[in-house]
Structures are given as structure tokens and as C-alpha cells.
Amino acid sequence: MTEQIDQGLIRISDDVVATIAGLAALETPGVSAMSGGISEGLAKRLSGKNAQRGVSVEVGQVEAAIDLRIVVQYGSPIQEVGRRLQENVREAVENMTGLRVVEVNVKVEGVAFKDEAEQEDAANRVK
């Protein structure tokens, strides 16, 4: 997004919009994690862009379209989580950037079980 004002230009990069969307998605109840493909996950780890994992954006001058890939917590109603996710991401991006979000597409790529999350936490502890 680029906006011309009297003092100069204001530019918001696609990465900024993706980061806002990713953080808003992770704050949504029922979302366990963002899902990225193998190559995307590696690239994000190497570049330090974990907040953008599972997020694709297309940003124009005044509008944005967002695609999200998520993992849902087992037992959460997927349709409800998806709707809340769309609302949270749309609100966060519109409020912070002034862009109009024309669509938020959600692809559920997995279900996380509590036991898996606990096992990962236990495996990551320093002994």
C-alpha cells in the first residue's frame, strides 16, 4: 500500500500485512498453529519470519486479500473457529493499516491433539 500525503509517501509492505494477519490468527481461540509447507517452513525459519508462517497476502493500493493455513485444536468447532479467524484477521489488518480487506480465505490443514502439544513441550525442555 502506498498513500500520498502532503508530507510524503506512506508505504506498508506485504510482509507487515502478513505479520499482522499471522499474529491475529494465532490469538484466535481454537487455532493451535499456523501451517506452512515444508519449503515455506524452512525458508521462514532461516529468515526469522515465523509470524508470517502459513500466511499469504496480496496487497493493492487500498485493498488486501489474505490466505491462511492453520491447524485447529481437537474438539474446537472448525466452522466457528474459521469465522472468528476471518473476523479477527480482517479487523486487525483494517484497523492497523487502513486497507480494506476484501477476503480472508482459511484452509484447515490439520488437527492438533493436546497430548501432541504436551509431548512437544516436554521434548523442548532443557534438562
Report the alpha-carbon angle 57-113-78, nearest 5: 50
Domain count, the chain: 1
Residue 18 lies in a domain: yes
Segments of the chain scoring below 50 in pLDDT: 38-49
> Burial, 26: exposed, middle or buried (Cβ in 10 Å; 0-12, 13-18, 19+)?
middle
Residue-wise pLDDT for 44-71, tens only, equals 444 444 567 899 999 998 999 999 999 9
- Compute how many other C-beta atoms are within 10 angstroms of the C-beta atom of residue 90: 19
Question: Is 3 inside a domain boundary?
Answer: no
pTM for the full model? 0.76
In-domain check, residue 23 = yes
Q: Could you tell me the residue range of the domain that residue 30 belongs to?
A: 14-36+53-112
What count of Cα atoms within 13 Å lies in the side-chain half-sphere of residue 72?
17
**Residue 117 within any structural domain of the chain:** no
CATH number where 88 lies: 3.30.70.1350
